[in-house]
Every structure is written in C-alpha cells, then in structure tokens.
Chains A and B, each alone.
Chain A
Amino acid sequence: MVTLTFWPLESSTSSTTSSVGICCVSCREKGLAAGIGSPAPSATHSGSGGPSRIIPARQLLPTCWALRRKLLKVSLPPSVGSCRTGMEAEQGEELVGKARGPTSTFTCSAAPQCLHPDRAPCAHGWLWFPCGWGSQGVHLCWSREREGAGDRGAALAALCIAGRRSGNDASYYQSAARNTETECCKLSTAGGRGQRWARVAAGRQPGQCHRGTKQGKRPRAAAPRLPACMYFSSCSLRCSTSAGGPELSREEKLQLRKEKKQQKKKKRNEKGTAAEPPEPGTAADPAQPRVTPHPASPPASANAPNDGEKPPGGKSKAELRAERRAKQEAERAQKQAKKAELGQGAAPAKPRLTPTEAPSVVKRLPEHVQVDDPAAQRKLAKKLERQQVPLRQDYGTKVNLFSHLHQYSRKKPLTQQMSIPSTVIHPAVVRLGLQYSQGIINGSNARCIALLEVFKQLIRDYSTPPNEELSRDLVAKLKPHISFLNQCRPLSVSMGNAIKFLKKEISCLPDTLREEEAKEKLQGTIDNYLREKIVLAAEAISKSAFEKINDNDVILVYGCSSLVNRTLCDAHTQTDRTFRVIVVDSRPRLEGRETLRRLVRHGIHCTYVMINAISYVLPEVSKVLLGAHALLANGSVMSRVGTSQIALVSKAYNVPVLVCCETYKFCERVQTDSFVSNELDDPDDLIVQRKGQAQLGGWAENKSLRLLNLVYDVTPPDLVDLVITDLGMIPCTSVPVVLRVKNVDQQ
C-alpha cells in the first residue's frame, strides 16, 4: 500500500484541478510549494521554457525532509488506483499563484515509462516532482506492495539529484536513489535550452538503502566518481516542448512506439548490411538512448519516416528479397545475442544498463536494517540456527519509519533461550553481551575495548581441533560469538572495524606458526590495536585539542563521550588555561550526569542543563566539543541522538562545532539521514516513574501510541567545522581520504 499524506494546501499555489495539496512548512519557508494535480495530462508544461535555476542542495534538502516525513503516514484512498500525482514546487514568487496541475506535458508522457517493466501499471503509484524551478523534474515510481522506507529514501534521493546539478555532488544522493530493485527513478534535468535525461535505473543497482535485495549495499558513494549506473546523456531530447507526443492517447503512443521500433530495426538492418550492426548497450547512439521507449521522443518518430523511407535503391526485387532474408537472419542472431547478454547482465526486462555500467562490487546489506524484510529475517534465523545462537525476538510495535530496525527489550535478554552453563558461547562473551544489552558497557570506545579484551580471552581459551587450521577455524569460532553480541546490541562502528581488523589478522597468520605462538601473536596484535587506535589516539587528540581551548573559553559538551571528557580533564590539569564547561544532557539516559561527575571531580567549573535549554546557554558558549560514534564517508557525524540538534543550533549562533573522533571509528558507510541505519533502544526506557506511578506504562496496549527511543543521529558535514583526530585537525569531508590512506596502509 502506498502511503501518502495529504493535507490542506494553504498557499496560493493550490492547483485549479485538485482539491488536495501538499505543502509543508519548510517548502513555504523556502518559497517552495507543492501541489497535487489532477491525474489527467491537461496543460502543457509552460514553465519549462525559462532559464533553469539552480537550487543549492542545502536549500532543497529541508524540502525533501519535510516531503519525506509527510510521505509516510496516511494512505491513499484505494479508489485512486494507479494514481498519478504530480507535485510541483516552485521557487520564487514569480511562480506562486500559477495554477498548475501535473500540467507539464512530459509528466504524463513519462508516465508509462516510469512504470516498472515487470509490473502492471495498476500496481504502481507514481510520483513526479517537477521541482518546479522551471526545469528540473524527477520521475519516480515505486511499487505498491513493496513500499518501504527504502523506497521513500529513493524518492528523497532522486529529489536531491534533481536539486544538484553537479555530478560529483549528486553522486552520493544517487547512491541513495539506487537502492531498490522495485523502483525506477527517473531523473530528468530538463534545462531550458535542452533536456538532459539521466536515468537512475534502480533495478539492479547497489544502493545505499536497505530495501534492496542481495545486491543492495552502500556503495562507497562519496567517491567522487559518478556511479556507473547513472548516466547523463548529453543528447538533446526535444521532448515535452516539441509538439505531438504528450497529447496523444495511450493507444496512439503505443502505435507510435511500435512504428519507431520497426523503423529502428530497419535502420539497423540497413546499417548491418552496410557495416557491422551497432553493438547493443553502448552509447553509440547518444541521440537515441536505446532503452528509453520514452514517448517523449517524438522527434525520433518524426525523423523516423524519413529513415524508413530511405530505399536501398537500384536493386532488383529478387536481390532485395535475398537481402531482406539475410537481414532477417542477421537480426535474429543479433536478438539472440542480446538476450544472452541480458540473461547474464543484471538488468531487468529492459536493458537499462549495459554490462559496463553494472556495478563492479556487489555488496550485501546488513541484516540489522532489514528487519521488515521477511526474507532477510528468515535468512538470519537460518544463519543463527546454524551457529546455534538463539534468535532474539523484537519487542513492541515500532514507529512506522523504523520498522526496518531491531527493537529489543532489556527485560528479555537473549540468555532466556539459552542453557545456563552456556555451551556454544564462551561465558565471557555471554557476560559481555548482557553488559552491552543492559547498558553497563556503553559508549563506542568502551564497547570496543571490552570486546577486544574478551576476544583475547577467547583466543587464550581456544585450542585448534585436530585436522583444522587455526587461521580458518578461529574465524569460524568467532562468528557465533559475534552474532550473539550483535543480537544483544547491534555492533557499533568501532566494534565492526575492530572485528574486521582481527579477522584479517587471523587470516593473515602464517601457517608455519605453532598454535601457542599464533595465539600469542594475536593477543599481541590486539594489545597493539588497543594501544595505538584507542589509547594513544586519545592522547594525540587531547594534545591537539589543547590548541583549540583558550583562556576563558566556555565549552559546551553533550552527553558522555569518554574522549571529550578525557580531553577536557587533560586540558584542565596540563595547561593553566581556565575554561568553563556546560554539560548538556538529555533523557532518557542522562549520560551527562556521568560527564558532570567526572569533570567536577577534576575541579572543572561546570554548568549542567538539559538539551531544551540549549538556545539559552549558547550565546555564552565559545566552542562546542562533541564526541562521535562514527564518522561516515560523506563527512556526516554519527553520534548520540541530539548531537545534530546541538550542531544546528550552534551554527545558528555562529559557535564553532568541533568533533573529537579517533580515526578507527571512521566508516566507509554513507548516510545522509538518521533513518536508514540507526539503532532503537528499549522503548520502556522512556517510561517515566514518578511517585510510584509509571506514566506511559501501558503503551504497548495502546494501538495508536508508539514510542521511539532512537540512539544515534547524523549531523550533516556542513554543521561541523572541524574534526579533531589522531591525525590532526581535519575537515569532516576528508574522511574518504583518511579511509583511502588507511586502506593503502593496510595493504
């Protein structure tokens, strides 16, 4: 079921043809408005003639957010059927007030196009965002039955692409767009002087989102290369503005298409006789993107008759017949070849992609963001069964947007389903898992350190069974333990990196080592990792942070970050600068109290406020110092929920935001929002106990009430001024560089 929210359109953009409209605060703020038009293609796209205006992505983003947020709630009335919803957002006042339906001709003409080839039209709703600044439009269609957060993500991303003109910038938004197999997003950048079509054939692309099948995994999207799946053909498709096409009825269009195909064939045949047949799948024919049976190519049809009429003059009938037969033979052969190619390639029914465009690396999505996908869950259950680890059941109903994440109850630990003298899982790991899930070991660094210490113990107690190799068997032995811990609480990025490192170290062990030596060596490497990546890194960070802490500074910190605490304590004891700290805290964990305790213990002058008082304290703050859970490849900072809010308000007050983060927490993942990959904590934590009464106590029984206890959020890179790492101070957009250097180092 497609869900869309409708709410009354207040602005003057309200369309003449529709009674409902979409509008959101941020749209209005930006001078953007969106409206839903009637499904019928009525008017021509009159506005597209003007010069294209570029909207910076940042300006666009809130729109998308709002859109996206709103897109999720209310269901479409079933009667809408294969609903076509055009939305228009206009920038600037000049366009406000213009009556607009879906209006633009190419909206409609694009419609059959957008439909996923595998599915009947009625199974789709499609949505068009001609993000009204005259020229850019995004076509998007998604399948109804598989509607999910990923699809919405794609919608968002596609919208973003439209907003971004530069390919490089767009690349990571594209990555989000490429995420599903079901939707095909169509991006059109139709400039005033010519239309640029870019297709995001989402079909078999690796994508950032979780909705995808096996292939869908986050690509390293921040890599400045343009992903292969996307291409902007520079051809000018005179589509909507040209006469004909759009006004035609469906049958006519089909007719046209047929004709066009035949003409193409003929053309090809002729070419085939003259020279070799053009290779399918290359961009040999840029003016005619071969896979775009877009009805908006009337120019082609207009040209076609001429092509078709070209007679290979000067030949007898017999000759002609023979020639034709030969042509047919060739054609058949060609078709078969094409089919074979299709079968191998990742493209769906329509060869949207050439093999060269296909992604080289196919990555899997992690299961912990596919909870709403029963197939992925079955797979997980099977894997756990194989590893003899029980499956932890999700708890309670989840907030709509987060149905793809796990939500566990602290009161129902995994040990419930295990025998008490645990046989499969090492006792130390059981204990660690419980401590993770109960929140006793908490914080990215602490979790990673505890994990490595336990793994050291595991390696110590390990003995290679006969006929096995240590390097292989040990990795296999670690796997159930990691699955167990992952179910107790989803692994942190730091833990993920540490595990990756350890696995690599184990597999790289030379075979010549005796078991004892190998174990000792491994423990040594773990110790080194702990010392270099965490202890020494913290030291380096606190040293370089000294430079940033001046006399009489007022530093704002949030939550409890071991690194920030250490930095502040070091700065207090090792320098003679006087500074003051404002500790900001938030419910439900109230971790700031621990920060406060530690800082006050060191004699630092502290103030403690809750996060809702932040705008009150910010005017006196000179610096904001934040910890991080992870730094993502696009420069986003993933941290305790609330961090992005603080960064945003700080930006508004022009207070510099510094983030402290060790480089071992850098992650190749890309995230632009906090939805796709996050963690849900126990919703029961939000229950307030006051005077013996538990407010919200019976939330589970109330069907219209859901609790969201989000753990992390993502701070966009432009809100962060500087990242203090063990490599020095870098802008947060340099994460990919650091990661690349690291990769080179490791090899």
Chain B
Amino acid sequence: MGSQGGWGQSKEFLDLVKSIGEARSKAEEDRIILREIETLKRRIAEPDVPRRKMKEYLIRLVYVEMLGHDASFGYIHAVKMTHDDSLLLKRTGYLAVTLFLNEDHDLIILIVNTIQKDLRSDNYLVVCAALTAVCKLINEETIPAVLPQVVELLGHSKEAVRKKAVLALHRFYQRAPNSVSHLISNFRKRLCDNDPGVMGATLCPLFDLIKEDINSYKDLVVSFVSILKQVAERRLPKTYDYHQMPAPFIQIKLLKILALLGGGDKQASGHMYTVLGDIFRKVEASSNIGNAVLYECICCVSSIYPSPKLLETAVDATSRFLKSDSHNLKYMGIDALGRLIKINPDIAEEHQLAVIDCLEDPDDTLKRKTFELLYKMTKSSNVEVIVDRMIDYMISINDNHYKTEIASRCVELAEQFAPSNQWFIQTMNKVFEHAGDLVNVRVAHNLMRLIAEGFGEDDEGADSQLRSSAVDSYLHILGEPKLPSVFLQVICWVLGEYGTADGKYSASYILGKLCDVAEAHSTDDTVKAYTTSAIMKICAFEIAVGRKVELLPECQSLIDELSASHSTDLQQRAYELQALLGLDSQAVESVMPLDASCEDIEIDKNLSFLDSFVIQSIEKGARPYIPENERSGMFNIGNFRSQYQHEASSHSLRFEAYELPKPSPPPTVAQVALPLPTTDLVQMPEQTYPRETHQAANLPSATHASSADFGVKLRLEGVQRKWGRPTYSSPSASSSSSTQKTANGATHLDGGGTASSQTRDSFYDSRRQQAEVSAEKQKLAASLFGASTVKSEKRQPSAHKTPKGISTSTEKPAVKGAISSSEPPKEKTLPSSPPPDLLDLGEPTPASIPSVDPFKQLEGLLGPTSAPSAIDHSSAAGPKAPDLMALYADAPPAGVSSGSLNPALADMYTVNKNSHETANVAAVKKGPNLQDSLQKDATARQVGVTPTGNNPNLFSDLLG
C-alpha cells in the first residue's frame, strides 16, 4: 500500500516541497510559494492541459492554500474536474472542491448537478465520494436538490453507503433543521439496521435530536438500553472490537443519549441501572478507551435520577481516576467530580488532597479544570480561599480570554458569597487592578453602588467606616504605576464622593491626587472626565461648609487645559467647575448636595412648574403643544437617538422596516428636560460616556435624571440586595441570598470584619513559613472543603466564620470527617453484590412488553426495505427475532478480529504510558524494516523536510 501510494507527484512538486522545507524564513517561504502560484496560474490557463497534469496542479494548489496563500484562481478547474468520468480524477476534484469552497460559494451551483448524477451512480465508491462532497458543499438552498437521492440511499445495499447517507442527513439537520424535519422517522428506522455500523451512525443524529426535544424520544429508552446491553455483552461481531473493547464508540454515544433521556426521570432511569452496573463491572480500566467508557458511565450516572448504589460505584471510579498518575485521567477525574458534587457535595471531601494536588500541578489544562471544580463548589465558608487562589492564578497568566473568564468568576463568587463588604471591596480592588480592562464595566458600576449604598441597614457608622476604608485603600493603590481605566474611574468617583467625608484627608491633598491622576492619564478622556467631576465635588463640598477653596496651581492648569480641550464633554466639565467656584455656599449646596448619590429624587414628568409660563405664552398667542403621538411624520429625538446608537453598535445592515415612532418612554423625558449641549453638534464619541457624571455636574435634578437613566443598573428601590444583580448571579443566587443576608448580619455585628481579614492574613503568613508541604496542603484542603478532618482548630481564628456557621443552615457542620471515617466499608459492598442478580433484574426482553416495543413497531415499517439488505447477511436472513442484535452475533465475522491479527500493536498501545518499554519493543519489531528506514532517512535528508535529522520513523516509539 505504502509503496504504491509512493510519491505520486512530479519532480516539480518534489522540488517545491524541498525548497519550502529548506526555506530559512517565512519571507523566503512566501517568495517560493508566490513563484509557484505564478507558475500554476500560467500552466493552468494553457489550452488543453492533460487531465492528469491538471490533477497534479490541483493538488499543488491545495498545498499552496494550506500554507495560507490564495488559490482562488484555480477553483473553477477543481469544479471542472468533478465532472470527469475517471474516479481518480473525480475524487481529486471533489477533494479540492471540499477544501476550497464553502457551501455558500457561487461555484457550488455548478457542482450540484454532478453531485445529483453521482448519487445515482451504480458504482458505490462514486456514491460515497459524492456523499462526502454533499456533507461539505450543500447549503440550505440546495438541500432540496439532493435530498430525495440521499434519502433513497438510506436503503442502499452497501452498509458503507447507508452509513454515510445517515450522516449526510444528519449534516442537513445541523444546517437547516426544518429541511429534514419530515424525515426524522428515517433515523428511528435506521436504528434497527442490520449493520451495527449503520446503527452506530444513527446515534449521532439521534443524539442531536434528543438534545433538542427529550420527551419525544422517551419511548426509545428501552431500545437504547437493550442495544447497549448487547453491545456490552459482546454480541456484536468481533470486527467491532477496538482494543478488546466491544464497539466503545457506540457505547459512548449510547451512554450520552441515556444521560439525556434519564435526566430527572425516575422511570426511564430505572431501566438503565442494571446495564450501567454491568458496564462498570466489565470495563477494562487499563486501556485508554476503557476509561473513556468508564468516564461516560460516570457522567451518565450523575445526570440521571440518582441511584445510591451506582453513585457509589461512580465515586469509586472517580477516585481511581484522581489517584492515577496520568494527567489525562486526573483531568477526567476532576471533571467527573464536578458532576458528582452536584448530586452530593460531600463527595468532594474524600478527594480534597487530590484536588489540591491538581490545583498545584504544572499542567495548565488540569489547573483550569480544577478551578472550574472549585467554582462549582464555592460556598460562603470557603469563598475567601477560593477567590484568593483564583486571583493569584489570574495574575499569573497572560491569556486574556481566560483572564476575563476567571475575573468574571471571581466577581460573581464575590458578589454571591462575600462574607463582608470590606472583603468584597478588597477583592474587587484586586480584580480591577489586575484585570481591570477585561471586566465588564457594569461590575465597576456595581462596586460604586455598593460603596454608595453601604449596608442599606440604617447603620451610618458602618457605612462611613466602609467608605473611609475604601478611600484609604484607593489612595494607597493610586501609588501603583499602571492602573486600568475602569478602575481609575471607580477610584475617582469614590474619592470625589467620599474623599473628604471623614475629615481624615484635606481637600487639597485629595485634589492633588486627582490632578496627578488626570496628568498621568492625559490620553484617557473618560478618566479625565471622572477626575474633573471628582474635583468639582470636592470643591463643592468645601464651599458648602464655608471653607475657602484654594485651587492648587496644577489644578488650575488642568482646568485651563481642559477648557481648551478638543472634547466638548471635557470642556463643558471644566467650564462648569469654573462656574461653580464662583457661586456662594448656598447655591453650591443645592447644586451639589453632600453624599446624595443615591438619594431618590422625584421627577416632575409633567413639568408642572412650567404651567404658568405655558399659559402666559398661549395668552400671548403661541401655538399650543401637540403631544408627540398625535403628530405624524416626525421622529422624536429620543427614538432617533436610540436607533442611531443601536445601529452604530451592531454594525450591521437592518433588513426590517424602520419602526414607527413610539410615544416617548420616561427616560427620554429626562433627556429632553436636560440641556443637551452635544445633540445639536455632530455626534461625538464623548456621547458614549457614562452620562452619570457628565450630568451630575449640571443641576441637582440632573443627578436625578442620570440615576433614572441608569436606573436599571444602579438603583434597586425597595429591594435589599447587596451584591449581584440577577444578570450576574447564577440560578442559585436567589436561594443563597437569604443566607447571605444573615451572614452579613453576623459579620456586621462583629465589627466590620477588619479583624477577621487581618487574622486571615496572619494565618497565611504563618502558613507560608511552615516548611512541611503536606501540612500546608492539608490546611488548604481544610479551608477549601470546610472539613474538620484535619485540625479544625486551625480554622477557628477567622472569627467571622463561627457566627456564620450557625446562622446559615445550608452549611455542613464540621463533623463530616467523623461521618466519613465511620463509613469505610462502602467500597466493599459493591464487588460482593452478586452479579447474576443484577443481570436478571434488568433483562428487558422486548417481547415482554410487545405493545410498547419500538423495535416491533419499526420492524413492520422496515419490511420491504430491509429485504434486499438481508440478502447480504445470507446466514442471518431467516430469523427475524425480536432481538435484532442477535443478527450481528450470528453473522459470520467479516474478517479476523483486529485484535487477534495484530496483538502486538494492541499490546503496545496499552503500555504506551511507559515509553521506554515501548521503544524497546518497537526496536525489536522493526528489525526487518531497517533497510526501509535507512532509505527513507536518506530521502528525508535529501529533500530536507526533517531538518532536525531525526530518525524519520516518527511513530517508532509508539507503533511497530
């Protein structure tokens, strides 16, 4: 095979590959390929290119495109080649076309006809080639053109064709579910195909269908279970074995399907217990594929209606995964654990040390999976440790995508489970500091809201303590060299609102800091806008209490600079600030009241204070006001603007007609009532600033309008919620909110929690000094899992934990260790249970329930179509037993089993963990091939593809 595959290309192609292999730089490679493209362009355009030459050109084109260069000039020739009669050329044409074109390409229309013809061909290999092309090239519009033929092929006499036809239909379903919705019964029919391969292929579309609509397929549970049972009992022909496992891929698909069907359905799950137990017992856990099936079993057990016995088995299997040396299995173990703790959170405790090991593993994938697990098992007792760990990890990585994800998870957990406001703010600071530009801006607004609203429980003392600690920490953080913009905005806002509130810092000190910020971030207009507003607030508060404000020179120069700014927004702020400085204390106080950021302000929507003015005007002969909905043909500004913004943000064409103007919603009233200096100008980018601060500068009522504007985000009237809005918190948020409140109450009582966080810090410090690694890990485990298995006293110092443990009923009291240690014989129970018992229980012979057996029903449908296919299986044609799978068992094995033919290969595979051993075996095996290898090696050197000069026998270390 190998030799005849040979180097089926011309010298030119060899030279091309050789020169690319020898290219020293990307630029050189590009030059070579561009030259090649020129050659190909010339050659292809020549008249009467011999077809075989053309085939080679096409392959070279594919190669060129694989290296990232445009080969579109040759697409049409690939299309032409699909029309060729020779199978070789046709296949090459199809290959090139499937690699070049997408299903919406203009040229597809030229191929559809050929595909139609080929699907009807007598030669099944042509049909197969066409089906491969169908999968890749047919889009929603062209499906109807080939659909009848593909459906017809479901009854083809060759099982390879039937298999591909099923998968092609599946592809149609994925592309356009509606186009094949009337054909779904075909999948059910094919489920009882004579060929297990076709049956296996049918599971793919059925899996997708069931995922969409579980209830319509509940009737198939019994069939799936009986198929799985027969597969597991090795009743398929030996050819379906893979590394001594009977049809593992079919088993995996079936287990995935059963997991879907059994979810929360006690009756359906009941059918599955026996077969799952069987598989757990039979699976060969020494091979990779065996573990794959085992893992799928665990997933299935964890998603169906729980059976205590199976759960125990699943937990055992999971712990074997976790204890394994293989990173792959550990990864699967962590994933399985994440599924199992949904059913019983206590399961994690047994494996705490294994989990900690994975957390500290150098393997990044494993680490991330473990963080995912931790995220799932976070509760208020371990949130601090977990979030601390997450933040540490977040700081250490560079991958922005994952950084964003983990940052948003930190925020979510902190919002949901924070033991104290203090801790919450500190955590948020850390998140902002290290991933500020990646977190959602709403998180920043949330933080500001939290600081402004405080506890919301009429305890001004604690609130102001919180604020001053926030101010302290921010003044400290401002010393850091590089801070993200969003974080600076928060800092400026907090400093502006509360910087001087407790009298600890003088106004000029805060003003100086703010000026520094503006100066250091002179390119960031948003930050500058926030600083200007903050400066204005500080000045206003000073004036309001009657103190004289002496503007620092740098402050003055900042204002001067801003009032000449290109940004109209900054200009306006600067002028407003200057105007405010000239006002007397009373005016200032009403313009900028102290700490009024979350006062509710009533909005007079009817503008009744203008009534007298209106009457006066009408008396003077002005035209009366006509409400907007009575006018026609006029856009209202609010609508227009929102539309404009919508379009600008989506950057796409709108196909639907423009909506009719609607009566203006309340927010637009606020907008109209405000002076909007920018609307009459060209739309400036500044328009997108959070309007809050911008308007806060204008009038007291502006603060109102802005908070009304922001209402959805910042204000939650009447609802006592401290962290987390519905969009942030996971479904469990609502249930946990009550416990959270009590937790707050508790921490609140013991005085803010400063002490607790300090003790925590010192706890960490002392921990770091300890040399003994295992003790450290155990402690971490204890803090993570909240278990008392290891020195629970160590955990006590964190004072706020104690009240919480009492107040929250959902938490486990720390006596788990005792319980778990009292139940060691768990593991013993399973093996001792008599296996025949399990088998007998579940033997759901389809005949026993004839009225509901889908197999029986389908058989009737199947009658005529299955007749021709039955001829193939000459020996099995006769018995139409209800037990269809028996057919496979009876059929003579098509070939010698792969396992027995090449046991060496299989053996080697199983020991591939130990590469040394395998290498030895391989070396022995390779004896007769030595000459081969040498020759190849020489060729490799000659052509220069393997510059490392390695032995070109790549797989020698794994395969013979």
User: Do A and B originate from a single complex?
Assistant: no
Give A residues with C-beta under 8 Å from B. none
Give B residues with C-beta under 8 Å from A. none
